[in-house]
């Protein structure tokens, strides 16, 4: 029985084939020529205090529809006003309701780094992310073997992009560190079962060297969890659902940053 992650990636590959038929890799590469250099997201995430990567997220496989988000640019601007270090934009269509159009809208609206959050399996997607203005890409260790992960990290590095390398367990954390990842996200949600265990970050954080940026993902419901992850060694948190359903994205981001500062 294929896992949820396997099913998502099958859909991602189908959708990718359709885009490749419309826009060639060479065209994407030409679009990248002359673009401003990517923002140095890693440097910003290393600043003192807890960084918040705030997410534009319409839906999820575990919760279904979360928010219509008729104006992703306005939401991203509110996040930035609240102090978000970076904005994450879901571009996966089938399970998360995202699109590259959302990425374009957010990129045009904010000056902070933008993460293209998707299930990256090919070089094409990385060039695509850069052509649409992303500064950061997500690479999920569970979805890639070591060779593929190293290849995608190397390409992103050549383009000047930051890689957020996501892990879920001890073996994946070790793989990410051994391959030289410097920004490592611990997802408290198991993408194979969709279960969340907020203790996952605290368990895996000691396996990630202090020289790396440690990002806690999933399970951040509000300021209390933000402070908890900061105490456990998180340099940043990635927050989606709590912010898109919370009603006040400016205060939502700000309250998490403040709570972590008081931990």
Q: Buried b vs exposed e over 127-143: b needs ≥16 C-beta within 10 Å?
A: bbbbbbbbbbbbbbbbb
| Torsion angles phi and psi, residue 254, rounded to 5 | -60, -40
pLDDT in tens, 163-180: 999 999 999 999 999 999
For the domain that residue 227 is a member of, what is the CATH number?
A: 3.20.20.70
Containing domain of residue 101, as a range?
4-261
pLDDT tier for residue 69 given thresholds of 50, 70 and 90: very high
On the question of pLDDT at 145 being above 90, the answer is yes
Residues annotated catalytic, as ranges: 55, 57, 117, 166, 187, 217-218
Q: What is the pLDDT of residue 61?
A: 86
pLDDT in tens, 76-124: 999 999 999 999 999 999 999 999 999 999 999 999 999 999 999 999 9
Residue 96 CA from chain centroid, whole number: 13
Compute the 3-state secondary structure of the chain and give helix, strand, coil in percent, each to the nearest 5.
Answer: 45, 15, 35
Contact predicate 231/211, CB 8 Å: no
Contacts of 193 (CB under 8 A, 6+ apart): 3, 4
On the question of pLDDT at 263 being above 80, the answer is no
Question: Above pLDDT 70, what percent of the chain?
Answer: 100
If one counts the domains in the chain, the total is 1
Residue with tokens 């954080």: 205
Structure tokens at 211: 């020289």
CB-count exposure of residue 200 (10 Å: 0-12, 13-18, 19+): buried
Q: What is the pLDDT of residue 192?
A: 76
Instruction: Provide the 3-class DSSP secondary structure of residue 55.
Output: strand
pLDDT tier for residue 133 given thresholds of 50, 70 and 90: very high
Contact predicate 88/240, CB 8 Å: yes
Question: Above pLDDT 90, what percent of the chain?
Answer: 89
Question: Please, what's the largest Cα pairwise distance for the chain?
Answer: 52
Q: What is the pLDDT of residue 2?
A: 80
Task: Please state, in angstroms and rounded to a whole number, the distance separating the CA atoms of residues 132 and 42.
Answer: 19
């Amino acid at each position: 029985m294929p896992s949820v992650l396997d099913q998502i990636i099958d859909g991602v590959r189908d959708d990718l084939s359709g885009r490749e038929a419309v826009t060639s890799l060479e065209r994407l590469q030409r679009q990248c020529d002359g673009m401003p250099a990517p923002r140095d997201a890693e440097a910003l995430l290393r600043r003192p205090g807890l960084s918040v990567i705030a997410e534009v997220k319409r839906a999820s496989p575990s919760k279904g529809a979360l928010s219509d988000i008729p104006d992703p640019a306005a939401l991203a601007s509110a996040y930035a006003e609240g102090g978000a270090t970076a904005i994450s934009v879901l571009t996966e269509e089938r399970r998360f309701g995202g699109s590259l159009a959302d990425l374009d809208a957010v990129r045009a609206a904010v000056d902070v780094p933008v993460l293209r959050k998707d299930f990256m399996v090919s070089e094409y997607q990385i060039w695509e992310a850069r052509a649409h203005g992303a500064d950061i890409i997500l690479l999920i260790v569970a979805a890639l073997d070591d060779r593929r992960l190293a290849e995608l990290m190397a390409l992103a590095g050549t383009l000047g992009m930051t890689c957020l390398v996501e892990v879920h367990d001890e073996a994946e954390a070790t793989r990410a560190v051994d391959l030289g990842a410097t920004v490592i996200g611990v997802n408290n949600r198991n993408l194979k079962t969709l279960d969340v265990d907020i203790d996952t970050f605290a368990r895996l954080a000691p396996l990630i060297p202090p020289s790396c940026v440690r990002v806690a993902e999933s399970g951040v419901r509000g300021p209390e969890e933000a402070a908890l992850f900061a105490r456990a060694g998180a340099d940043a948190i990635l927050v989606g659902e709590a912010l898109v359903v919370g009603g006040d994205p400016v205060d939502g981001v700000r309250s998490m940053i403040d709570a972590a500062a008081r931990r």
